[in-house]
Homo-oligomer: A and B are copies of this chain.
Amino acid sequence: MSHADQSLRERILQTSRTLLYSQGHLALSMRSIAKEVGVSATSIYLYFDNKDHLLHTLIEESVEELSVFIEDKVLQATTVVDKFTENIRAYVEFALTNPEKYQIIYNVHPEAMSRYPKEKFRKARRCYELLVGFIEEGVAKGLMEVANPVIAAYSIWAQLHGVVSVVINQRLDNRIDRDLFVQESLDHIVQGFLVRSTV
């Protein structure tokens, strides 16, 4: 594989992400991608078997990038509580700074997701299992009050996803300050799990 190939593959993926985020699903046709990239539609098939393969690659890469981003951030934290909060903070940070990548993980779902290889879902759980570990450690050390760490982690993730989605999909009321909204929401989600006396 030459440099040029690599580059075209990357350009196709990047353009797809941008198109998907700015124009929506309906605008994401093989033709529109090719046009935007400045290449023939046929060329996409040199790198991807079909549209599904392209979409799945997009999901896979986003999942991977999100995981790596979180793992990186967590490594820099020291205490369990720090790792816990940093995990959450990093998740939101990634989503808000890379909305076109984050949204692919969740929004593509209904269409192509049914054909997404089940095994790859496991990868998507990586960062979530990280969170489970921190909670379990926190509970063991008496720093957190959590009945069921697995459920708690999933619940946190779900709530985060809700907060992030609202912001990304621009469903936030005009009168509400975006950063304040995110901050308050994060505080609320995190505080519920920490032992009060730690404050």
* Any B CB within 8 A of the CB of A163: yes
Inter-chain contacts of A110 with B (CB < 8 A): 24-26, 107, 169
CB distance from A32 to the nearest CB of B (A): 14
A sample of 6 more A-B contacts (CB under 8 A), given A25-B25, A148-B184, A155-B188, is A24-B114, A125-B173, A150-B176, A154-B173, A162-B165, A188-B193
Q: Which of A110, A150, A185, A191 has the most CB of B within 10 A?
A: A110
Bound CA–CA A26/B160 (angstroms): 28
Chain A contact residue count (CB 8 A cutoff) = 41
What string of 1s and 0s marks CB contacts (under 8 Å) between A138-160 and chain B? 00000000011011101101111
Residues of A whose CB lies within 8 Å of any CB of B are 24-26, 107, 109-111, 114, 125, 147-148, 150-152, 154-155, 157-163, 165-166, 169, 172-173, 175-177, 180-181, 184-185, 188-189, 191-193, 196
List 19 interface pairs A-B (beta carbons < 8 Å), by A numbering: A24-B111, A25-B25, A26-B111, A109-B169, A110-B169, A151-B177, A151-B180, A152-B188, A154-B172, A154-B176, A155-B163, A155-B181, A155-B185, A158-B166, A159-B189, A161-B165, A162-B162, A188-B193, A191-B192
